Structure 1
Amino acid sequence: MPITVVKQLPAIEKLAEENIFVMDTKRAETQDIRPLQILIVNLMPTKEATETQILRALSNTPLQLEITLLYTASHKAANTTKEYLQTFYRTFDAIKENYFDGMIITGAPVELMPFEEVNYWEELTGIMEWSKSHVYSTLYICWGAQAGMYYHFGIDKETLPTKLFGVFENKVNNTRPMLLRGMDEVFYMPHSRHTTVPIERIREQKELEILAESEETGAAVVRSLDNKHIFVFGHAEYDRDTLQKEYERDVALGLDIEVPKNYYPNDDPRRDPIVRWRSTGTLLFTNWLNYYVYQETPYIIEQIKKMKDKVSHSCGQ
């Protein structure tokens, strides 16, 4: 939570330079607190495992969150029962009149397909278009990040020569944005994907900033300059055994799959994996919630559209 001090205290400027968030008393007095409305668009077939991972990452904050889980009605879930979806999830038609402070769009195992051939692409683009006026800030994960980059900024994905599979080192380019507050200059994050978004194309977009990258992963964390779109191309929310389960599944299917890099000690799958990304996941999710959602979203949630229109207009000047 922010530190609250008397307005114009000289230390405020110094602390701000050190990326420490300070709120003066005048601003604090005008702040009302209400639960944040967070929408999770879960595109993964293993819905229960994915929702557990994300909810765990979101729980490391004192903020009160009200979570709405959404599934795409245009896709028939093969690994989740209809009863489970009807009990715990909602469809876009059921929530499209509502407003949300934040939205998370997960990855999906459809990356080798052109976006337009994904059977729920039309529904997903409808959700992303709707979010422009009904969601304050969106966090996109893995394929969700690729889909958001393509829809909002016109940058298509490319197929990699081999699957990017393992836990990879990423270097922070800019420590100023609050999203990376508290992060080490080099951090680890799991990746599991056959495609990538060309980093040169991202650099060409004046509305985007690459916050972290590496030679192996390409762009790892990207933000739009208005902080309304946060793209994370890895899986900071993964459990200890997620990559192991993927590896064992592919081996059992007889697929040509390499041992996930930097995951097992000495890359030996007979040994227990080493978790190197837990703090990264905690910081990414909590910083996004605190600085890009809680500190910015309007108290009267229906004013989101008006605020986003104002920001878009000022950014265009």
Structure 2
Amino acid sequence: MPIKIPDDLPARQTLEAEGVTVMGEADAVRQDIRPLQIGLLNLMPDKVRTETQLARLLGATPLQIELTLVRMTDHVSRNTSQDHMEAFYRPWDDVRHGRFDGFIITGAPVERLPYEDVTYWSEFVQILEWTQTNVHKTLTICWAAQAALYHFHAIQKRTLGEKAFGVIPHGTCVQGSPFLRGFADTFQVPVSRWTEICAESLAATSGLEVLAESSLTGPCLVDDPAHRALHMFNHLEYDTETLAKEYFRDGGSQLPLGYFPEDDPAKAPMNSWRAHGHLLIGNWINAIYQTTPFDIAAIGSGSALTAA
């Protein structure tokens, strides 16, 4: 099934060139099914690249997806044009009374700041609380995952002495998890962060389950069923070139582990994680589809929460 996005969103041309089926408004109306309503709160600096990466994965799932791009209400993006933001993004204040089957919150380049020093922290906390009443299932990524664990469970992050950076082998911890269907026992994951959540903190918190981890960079994927949330500390959504762009942007100061062939930045990297990115998002969408109420207005009601 296709993903429904605005006709003139820059991601559309990229996805169509890759063979992803993209649907227009008229085609969507003709299909007698309810599309899953997925919101994307995009906090990354390069909004266009991030929305393309996630739309690519959502568009490969076998269900019709209607994607709503969301931004912080008062925060002004410095790296994406205001024309793009005004044309394609809705401030959270405009969507807060709606319901979503799924809601994705990305990372943000603020991870070394104390949470309360982030300029939009107050609104971010409101959004996390809003997901508990207006969203069926939430997926948080990188900084957003750490921030959600801090808000909901008072788990502190820890600053690293050196950036965790590269394509790192991970192992699955819970073979029976529906979010890990089809995963190999070990798989590669792009990692790019200056902070971490310690395994000991997760183990000491009841109700959380570590689904995947690495001996080098620690926990990767955490299930938080009490909040109907899946927390991903790393970046299975990344493009092949994303880590290279970060490496060259930072002046080549730290070589990403396991990324460039023979550790030679002059050689083009190979994508070894693409399939697992599709698996993760496909499994998350399937979990939503299996449990979300047909009447989207029922999301947030007692019966909808029980079904989750």
Q: Shared fold (TM-score greater than 0.5)? A: yes
Instruction: Give the whole-Å Cα distance in 1 for the aligned partners of 2:218 and 2:280.
Output: 18
Aligned partners of 1:74 and 1:119 also within 8 Å:
no
User: Following superposition of structure 1 onto structure 2, how do residues 123-142 of structure 1 map, counting pairs within 5 Å?
Assistant: 123-142=123-142
Other-structure match for 1:113: 113
SS of equivalent residue, structure 1 residue 275: coil
Q: Does 1:214 align with 2:210?
A: no
Instruction: Give the whole-Å Cα distance in 2 for the aligned partners of 1:308 and 1:214.
Output: 37
Instruction: Give the whole-Å Cα distance in 2 for the aligned partners of 1:56 and 1:190.
Output: 17
Other-structure match for 2:154: 154
SS of equivalent residue, structure 1 residue 206: coil
Specify the code of the residue in structure 1 equivalent to 2:247.
Y
Specify the code of the residue in structure 2 equivalent to 1:263.
Y
Deviation at 1:225, TM superposition (A): 3.3
Other-structure match for 1:311: 306
SS of equivalent residue, structure 1 residue 49: helix
SS of equivalent residue, structure 1 residue 75: coil
SS of equivalent residue, structure 1 residue 305: coil
Aligned partners of 1:133 and 1:308 also within 8 Å:
no
Other-structure match for 1:23: none
Instruction: Give the whole-Å Cα distance in 2 for the aligned partners of 1:188 and 1:302.
Output: 39
Aligned partners of 1:223 and 1:229 also within 8 Å:
yes
Q: Does 1:275 align with 2:275?
A: no
Other-structure match for 1:5: none
Deviation per CA, 1:23-63: give whole Å up to 9, x if none.
Answer: xxxxxxxxx94100000000011000000001011111120
Deviation at 1:309, TM superposition (A): 7.4
Q: Does 1:229 align with 2:224?
A: no
Instruction: Give the whole-Å Cα distance in 2 for the aligned partners of 1:310 and 1:279.
Output: 31
Q: 2:259 aligns with which of 252, 259, 263?
A: 263
Specify the code of the residue in structure 2 equivalent to 1:297.
T
Other-structure match for 1:10: none
Instruction: Give the whole-Å Cα distance in 1 for the aligned partners of 2:160 and 2:138.
Output: 26
Aligned partners of 1:226 and 1:311 also within 8 Å:
no
**RMSD of the alignment, in Å?**
1.8
Deviation at 1:262, TM superposition (A): 0.2
Question: Could you state the TM-score of these two structures normalised by the residue count of structure 1?
Answer: 0.84
Deviation at 1:73, TM superposition (A): 2.3
Deviation at 1:226, TM superposition (A): 4.8
Instruction: Give the whole-Å Cα distance in 1 for the aligned partners of 2:74 and 2:225.
Output: 32
Other-structure match for 2:190: 190
Other-structure match for 2:15: none
Q: Which runs of 4+ in 1 moved over 3 A?
A: 307-312
Specify the code of the residue in structure 1 equivalent to 2:221.
V
Deviation at 1:152, TM superposition (A): 1.4
Aligned partners of 2:132 and 2:227 also within 8 Å:
no
User: Following superposition of structure 1 onto structure 2, how do residues 1-317 of structure 1 map, counting pairs within 5 Å?
Assistant: 33-226=33-226, 228-251=228-251, 257-291=253-287, 293-307=288-302, 310-311=305-306
SS of equivalent residue, structure 1 residue 295: helix
Distance 1:75 1:232, change over 3 A: same
Q: How many pairs are equivalent?
A: 278
* % identical aligned pairs: 44
Q: Structure 2 stretches of 5 or more lacking a match?
A: 2-31
Specify the code of the residue in structure 1 equivalent to 2:298.
Q
Specify the code of the residue in structure 2 equivalent to 1:78.
R
Aligned partners of 2:298 and 2:304 also within 8 Å:
no
Larger radius of gyration: 1
Deviation at 1:310, TM superposition (A): 4.9
Deviation at 1:214, TM superposition (A): 1.2
Q: Structure 1 stretches of 5 or more lacking a match?
A: 2-31
Instruction: Give the whole-Å Cα distance in 2 for the aligned partners of 1:228 and 1:152.
Output: 12
Other-structure match for 2:8: none
Aligned partners of 2:42 and 2:71 also within 8 Å:
yes
Higher mean displacement: 228-237 or 69-78: 69-78
Aligned partners of 1:166 and 1:243 also within 8 Å:
yes
Specify the code of the residue in structure 2 equivalent to 1:178.
P
